[in-house]
Amino acid sequence: MGGIGSRQPKIAVFVDWCNLGDVRAVLDYGRFRQYLDTLGRVRKAYIYVAGHTIPMPPALKQLSSFGSMLQKHGFIVREKGIEHKERGPVDGDMDVELTIDVVDTLSGHGQTLDKIVLFSGDGHFCSLVTRIKNQRAKRPIKVLIVGRLGHTSSKIRWLADAYIPIEKIVEQISQPEPAVSQVLTGGAA
């Protein structure tokens, strides 16, 4: 990624797993983690998994722990169970945990990060994106939003420096190895 004298941006990645929708079932997590390395030098890669009532791909059912598999691929896994409420929907949302980790990461690595990559199109994160952008007075940090087509808040897309549909990434990492790095450059496989 880059020629002589160029440097890879330092990034932190935050994946709201529940927000990935149907993509979760077809995602090759090893290749997905490799893809993240094409975006820059990954300082931290968090993935937030709420509950285990969500359908898992058949290949993952044989694993003793989905979280352990993600850890083997270099993710910092944040898990919590599903909260069943007497009234209203089941709650397995991890927006608060993700937000706290972003703020803590900015506090600890903010002087060395170039980019935050947020895998969520959830409009609840607009305030978080604004907070990250307000850090720019100290040091510019770009925000890349990765979300599902048709399910990503238009406001968060507008606030971000860049947006990539998760479907495009899945398509790229489903191709033979050389195609993985092509998603950002737009080159042919």
88-144 pLDDT per residue, tens: 555 567 899 999 999 999 888 656 889 999 999 999 999 999 999 887 666 789 999
Residue 87 and residue 32: Cα distance in Å, rounded? 37
pLDDT in tens, 75-98: 999 887 666 666 655 556 789 999
Which residues are paired to 13 by β-bridges? 45, 117
Q: Edge-to-edge, what's the strand order for the sheet holding 115-119?
A: 76-80, 41-50, 10-16, 115-119, 142-147, 162-165
Instruction: For the chain, give the mean pLDDT.
Output: 81
Most confident region among 44-58, 67-81, 152-166, 174-188 by mean pLDDT: 152-166
Residue 18 and residue 91: Cα distance in Å, rounded? 11
Alpha helices in the chain (DSSP H): 23-26, 29-39, 58-61, 66-72, 95-109, 126-134, 154-159, 166-173, 182-185
Q: Whole-model pTM?
A: 0.80
Q: For residue 15, give the nearest of 70, 82, 89, 84 by alpha carbon.
A: 70
